């Protein structure tokens, strides 16, 4: 007779899933990191340990600057990494993926056209996975060469939308509201990281100033009932990453993660991995942690999975097929 733990793992594995918050540069497979530094990555890094906690976001970001960005310098390297990452995503029974690639790559690839990076990422997509690629950038990135790259990239068929990520400072700048409006006019999706460490006011500004309806993290909104009401009023989705939130100390522990409070407040939430190379996590791990440590019921796990399909850029008939599959798992 299977144990309760193995039964839960089997249940989670059967759930069809979406991943809506994944940074490709933060997903570098361990075997490729070893090519950069065979000594440092001879074994899994210490930050993969469940009890590891980063001492500040700057130290977390330093891992990108000192190591991971060194891999992402060519279309070929993006392809090799993404091919492995996407295979792992599919192995988690994830059928729809929204991921981002970093604007900063444009200054690391020499004379290679930046669009070739987007094309290489799409070329790595395996059969059966729906992929939507986002251009991610910092809040102060729109200047000089980067501004010209953004103006061009948002029109590419390979790019489904844009995201502001990284440090949640400075405040959202005027350029971002103008660009985000242009992106939506092109029929594409806009996202923004807010409320991971910043207060409710930053989440509110993402909705009111940027006009986005997809907030990455959004934890700070819980501080202010009026901001929660704003999220409900505008049908905003929070793309959450619980294990990341704990390891970056945005929340004290998985047991105290507030996702249930957001759900109880009528806010749509999805669950994703954020930067698997930094947290040693897979998508199924997120669901398992929410069940075993946060105490979410199986019905709530299915509700979260449904939320991902509700906001997915998929045909209505395809969404309905997954809604039916999820409903069958609840029986």
- 212 token code pair: 């986005």
Contact 101, 118 (CB under 8 A): yes
Q: Say which DSSP state 167 is in.
A: -
- Please name the residues in contact with 188: beta carbons below 8 A apart, sequence gap of 6 or more: 154, 159, 160, 161, 162
Q: 3-state class of 298 per DSSP?
A: helix
Answer left, alpha or beta for residue 50, where phi above 0 means left and psi between -120 and 50 means alpha. alpha
Secondary structure letter of residue 104 according to DSSP: G
Cα dihedral sign for 122, 97, 90, 45?
Answer: positive
Q: Which of 247, 229, 308, 251 shows the shortest CA–CA distance to 18?
A: 308
124: tokens are: 């790595």
Contact of 5 with 254, CB cutoff 8 Å: no
- Return phi, psi of residue 101, to 5°: -120, 150
> Is 196 designated active site?
yes
Strand order in the sheet with 189-194: 17-23, 94-102, 130-137, 159-164, 189-194, 214-217, 237-240, 268-271
Q: Chain centroid to CA 274: how far? A: 4
- The one catalytic residue among 196, 233, 256, 331: 196
* Assigned token pair, 285: 């791990």
Give the chain's largest Cα–Cα span.
Answer: 63
Please identify every residue annotated as catalytic: 196
């Amino acid at each position: 007779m299977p144990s309760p733990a193995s039964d839960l793992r089997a249940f989670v594995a059967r759930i069809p899933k979406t991943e809506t918050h994944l940074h490709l540069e933060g997903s570098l497979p361990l075997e490729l990191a070893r090519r950069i530094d065979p000594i440092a990555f001879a074994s899994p890094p210490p930050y993969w340990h469940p009890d590891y906690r980063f001492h500040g976001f700057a130290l977390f970001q330093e891992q990108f600057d000192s190591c991971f960005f060194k891999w992402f310098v060519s279309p070929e390297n993006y392809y090799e990494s993404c091919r492995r990452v996407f295979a792992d995503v599919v192995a988690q029974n994830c059928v729809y993926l929204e991921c981002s690639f970093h604007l900063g790559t444009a200054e690391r690839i020499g004379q290679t056209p930046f669009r070739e990076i987007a094309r290489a990422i799409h070329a790595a997509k395996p059969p059966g996975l729906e992929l939507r690629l986002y251009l991610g950038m910092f809040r102060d990135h729109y200047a000089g060469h980067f501004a010209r790259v953004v103006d061009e990239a948002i029109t590419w068929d390979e790019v489904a939308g844009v995201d502001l990520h990284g440090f949640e400072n400075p405040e959202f700048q005027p350029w971002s509201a103008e660009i985000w409006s242009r992106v939506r006019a092109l029929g594409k999706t806009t996202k923004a990281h807010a409320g991971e460490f910043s207060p409710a006011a930053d989440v509110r500004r993402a909705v009111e100033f940027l006009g986005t309806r997809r907030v990455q993290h959004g934890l700070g909104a819980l501080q202010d009932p009026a901001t929660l009401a704003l999220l409900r009023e505008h049908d905003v989705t929070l793309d959450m990453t619980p294990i990341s939130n704990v390891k970056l100390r945005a929340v004290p522990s998985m047991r105290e993660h507030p996702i249930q409070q957001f759900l109880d407040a009528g806010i749509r939430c999805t669950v994703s991995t954020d930067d698997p190379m930094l947290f040693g996590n897979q998508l199924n791990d997120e669901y398992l942690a929410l069940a075993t440590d946060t105490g979410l019921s199986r019905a709530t796990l299915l509700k979260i999975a449904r939320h991902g399909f509700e906001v997915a850029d998929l045909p209505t008939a395809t969404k309905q097929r997954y809604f039916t599959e999820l409903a069958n798992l609840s029986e």
